[in-house]
């Protein structure tokens, strides 16, 4: 009886300790979210004033002067609508619009991580991991070149407002299509496909790079689903619906917006043209992509079972196609060195990171005895290098003279 009593006391102490740790984790997660909100707010203020980059400042100037020449209009209409509803000036409205779209994307990343981790981790831990995904950057290699962003890209580029605007719609499209590819009822399937179609159309209206990457990856994605998917073969054809709508919207946007802008001296060329090279910075494009996606690539090498994960493979195919587009395509004419075909990589990278992180953490938690310790250590180290670079980059945006 005395032995059982001691065990009961020890169990109560253990329960209290676990509850205390869980409560502290909620507090830490909440503080991290608030810290990122404040940092994002300050960075967006600097960008809106033109301190770090002219991208956002130029968009706001166009908004004030009128919509002539504006192609990706969802951001502009969002800013104008928020300013009208709440009586803000354009600068304030732009900052809050970017905060909204940034954290809408964060919600999508939280859902992605929850898909893997809801059975093994508490919500506070998933939220903490989500915050890290909103901070990560390409791994910094100062011995090769001095920049964190220029010539490399980032999962979290903060200076381009249309890229920020498109992300939640791109992430939602991927999640909905992956969800529909599962063993769903007929109603669940068609609701998911319809919702994905709507999100894809909105993504084109925000910025076309995601749908350009998705259309390029579509044959490989459909072939993968056909080989792996338990759903009836007839349903696979319905995945063409959002793709067809996205392609149609892209064509209409080109004809009525790009074409009407009278930019006849611009076109599409083949061959890698570096925006960094135009500034005198020599960056190997293949090394740059390794820096950008080191963790998802390491997860593939060290945990090959990840190729059975539908979200990871879907995101990986998107990333590969977007990376090839950034390496092989460029605009001609006055926008040759703008690097606009590189935005697809930055748009799809966060979901690839989320899939790799969720899968890796789940495997390390549930199958830790079968995964060598050195593999876990390597994955943790590489991810922490991404986080370290992201924190450095965020500090640079808060205090430095340039977003490069």
pLDDT in tens, 311-367: 999 999 999 999 999 888 777 666 655 667 889 999 999 999 999 999 999 999 887
333: left (phi over 0), alpha (psi -120 to 50) or beta: left
- The tokens for 318 are 């998107």
**What is the Cα–Cα distance from 361 to 342, expressed in whole angstroms?**
29
- Residue from 146, 158, 393 nearest 276 by CA: 146
**SS3 category, 303:** coil
Q: How many CB atoms lie within 10 A of CB 250?
A: 17
Helix (H) or strand (E) holding 333: none
Burial class (CB in 10 A: 0-12, 13-18, 19+), 390: buried
Half-sphere exposure of 185 (CA within 13 A, CB side): 3
The token pair at 123 is 């919500």
Burial 61-72 (b: 16+ CB within 10 A, else e): eebeeeeeebbb
Distant-in-sequence, close-in-space partners of 5: CB < 8 Å, separation ≥ 6: none
- Tell me the C-alpha distance between 62 and 72, whole Å: 12
- Report the C-alpha gap between 68 and 43 in whole angstroms: 27
Contact 250, 115 (CB under 8 A): no
The pLDDT value recorded for residue 222 is 87
E strand segments, 294-389: 329-331
Query: In angstroms, rounded to a whole number, what is the distance separating the alpha carbons of residues 76 and 60?
Result: 8
- Residue whose C-alpha is closest to residue 177's, from 223, 225, 210: 225
Q: Which residue has the tokens 């894809």?
A: 200
CA distance 19 to 320: 43
Global confidence as pTM: 0.91
Residues 52, 74: Cα–Cα separation, whole Å: 23
Dig out the tokens for 248 from the structure: 């149609």
Residue 394, CB-side half-sphere exposure with 13 Å CA sphere: 22
Residue given tokens 């009208």 in the structure block:
84
d(C-alpha 166, C-alpha 288), whole Å = 23
Instruction: Give me the residues of the chain with pLDDT under 50, please.
Output: 7-8, 261-262, 264
Helix, strand and coil percent figures for the chain, each rounded to 5:
75, 0, 25
Q: What is the tally of helices (H) and strands (E) in the chain?
A: 16, 2
Q: How many CB atoms lie within 10 A of CB 232?
A: 9
DSSP state of 341: G
What pLDDT is recorded for position 365? 87
In whole angstroms, how far apart are CA 199 and each of 77, 99, 167, 252?
A: 17, 19, 10, 17
Rounded-to-integer distance, Cα 317 and Cα 220, Å: 7
CA 205, 180, 347, 132 torsion-angle sign: positive
User: CA 337 to CA 266: how far, in whole Å?
Assistant: 12
């Amino acid at each position: 009886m005395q032995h059982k009593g001691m065990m009961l006391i020890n169990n109560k102490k253990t329960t209290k300790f676990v509850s205390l740790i869980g409560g502290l984790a909620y507090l830490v997660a909440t503080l991290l979210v608030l810290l990122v909100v404040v940092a994002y707010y300050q960075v967006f203020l600097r960008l809106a004033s033109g301190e770090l980059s002219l991208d956002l400042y130029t968009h706001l100037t166009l908004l004030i002067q009128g919509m002539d020449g504006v192609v990706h209009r969802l951001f502009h209409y969002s800013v104008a609508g928020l300013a009208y509803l709440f009586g803000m000036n354009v600068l304030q409205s732009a900052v809050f619009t970017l905060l909204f779209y940034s954290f809408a994307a964060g919600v999508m990343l939280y859902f992605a991580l929850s898909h893997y981790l809801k059975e093994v981790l508490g919500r506070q831990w998933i939220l903490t991991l989500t915050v890290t995904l909103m901070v990560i950057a390409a791994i910094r290699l100062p011995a090769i070149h001095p920049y964190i962003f220029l010539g490399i890209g980032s999962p979290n580029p903060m200076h381009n407002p249309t890229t920020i605007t498109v992300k939640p719609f791109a992430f939602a499209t991927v999640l909905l299509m992956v969800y529909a590819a599962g063993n769903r009822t007929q109603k669940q399937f068609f609701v998911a496909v319809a919702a994905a179609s709507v999100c894809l159309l909105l993504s084109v209206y925000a910025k076309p790079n995601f749908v350009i990457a998705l259309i390029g990856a579509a044959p490989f994605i459909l072939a993968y689903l056909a080989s792996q998917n338990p759903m009836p073969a007839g349903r696979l054809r319905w995945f063409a619906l959002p793709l067809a709508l996205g392609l149609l919207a892209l064509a209409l946007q080109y004809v009525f917006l790009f074409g009407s802008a009278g930019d006849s001296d611009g076109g599409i060329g083949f061959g890698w043209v570096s925006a960094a090279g135009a500034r005198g910075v020599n960056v190997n494009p293949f090394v740059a992509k390794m820096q950008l996606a080191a963790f998802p690539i390491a997860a593939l090498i060290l945990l090959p079972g990840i190729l059975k994960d539908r979200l990871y493979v879907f995101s990986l195919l998107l990333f590969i196609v977007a990376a090839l587009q950034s390496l092989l395509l460029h605009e001609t004419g006055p926008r040759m060195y703008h690097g606009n075909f590189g935005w697809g990589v930055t748009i799809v990278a966060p979901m690839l990171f989320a899939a790799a992180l969720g899968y890796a953490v789940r495997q390390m938690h549930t199958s830790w005895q079968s995964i060598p310790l050195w593999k876990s250590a390597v994955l943790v180290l590489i991810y922490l290098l991404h986080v370290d670079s992201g924190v450095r980059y965020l500090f640079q945006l808060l205090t430095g003279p340039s977003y490069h």
